[in-house]
Amino acid sequence: MKIELDKVYHGDCIEIMKQLPDECVDLIFADPPFNIGVRYDKWKDNLKYEEYLQWSESWLKEAYRLLKKNGSIYVAIGDEFAAELAIILKRLGLYMRNWIIWYYTFGQHQKKKFTRSHTHILYYTKHKSHFTFNADAIRVPSARQTVYKDRRANPKGRIPDDVWTFPRVCGTFKERVGNHPCQMPTALLERIILASSNPGDIVLDPFGGTGTTAVVAKRLGRHFITIELSEQYYSTIIERLNMEDAKKFIKKDIKGLFDSLYEFSNT
Structure confidence by residue, pLDDT tens digits, 132-161: 999 999 999 887 787 777 777 788 889 999
Q: What confidence score (pLDDT) does residue 169 get?
A: 76
Identify the helix (H) or strand (E) that includes residue 204. strand 202-205
Nearest to 36, CA basis, from 94, 84, 80, 72? 80
- Span of 51-55, 100-104, 140-144, 220-224 with lowest mean pLDDT: 140-144
pLDDT tens digits, residue range 94-106? 999 999 999 987 7
CATH number of the 7-265 domain:
3.40.50.150
Question: What average pLDDT does the segment 81-105 reach?
Answer: 96
261: pLDDT confidence band, cut at 50, 70 and 90? very low
Domain ranges of the chain: 7-265
Residue 19 has a pLDDT of 96
Phi-psi region of 104 (alpha: psi -120 to 50; beta: other; left: phi over 0): alpha
Torsion of CA 132, 8, 41, 110, to 10 degrees: 20
What pLDDT was estimated at residue 171? 61
pLDDT of residue 96: 98
Q: What is the pTM of this model?
A: 0.88
Is the pLDDT at 13 greater than 60, yes or no?
yes
